[in-house]
Amino acid sequence: MPNIKSAKKRVLVAEIRRNRNMAVKSRMKTQLKKFDAAVAEGDKEAAGRELLAAVSVLDKTAAKGVIHKNAAARRKSNLYRAYNAM
């Protein structure tokens, strides 16, 4: 455990941010799994709804800095590619 006051604060802030990042990333992964399930079922209408929701979650995740904006763009590209291949 750190002795310096600023280092103690950094530990606390890092823990708060880690928890937030885990929650945001978990939400993102859940939405991507829902989209993958819809694609696997072959339900184009449900996949379309899940695609829009997944794109929105990816944009929000990138805006919060949890993932890089280029990583979000790459994932969205792959989602659209999978949707169009149906």
pLDDT at 1: 81
Question: What is the model's pTM?
Answer: 0.86
pLDDT at 86: 87
Summarised one tens digit per residue, pLDDT across range 22-33 is: 999 999 999 999
Give the closest residue to 61 by CA, choosing from 22, 34, 5.
Answer: 22
C-alpha 80: how far from its chain's center?
A: 16
CATH for 32: 1.20.58.110
Q: How far apart are CA 80 and CA 78, in angstroms?
A: 5
Summarised one tens digit per residue, pLDDT across range 51-86 is: 999 999 999 999 999 999 999 999 999 999 999 998
Instruction: Please state, in angstroms and as integers, the Cα–Cα distance from residue 61 to each residue in 11, 12, 69, 83, following that order.
Output: 23, 22, 9, 21
- Amino acid occupying residue 76: K
Specify the number of domains making up the chain: 1
pLDDT at 4: 95
For residue 31, give its domain range. Answer: 5-84
Summarised one tens digit per residue, pLDDT across range 1-54 is: 899 999 999 999 999 999 999 999 999 999 999 999 999 999 999 999 999 999
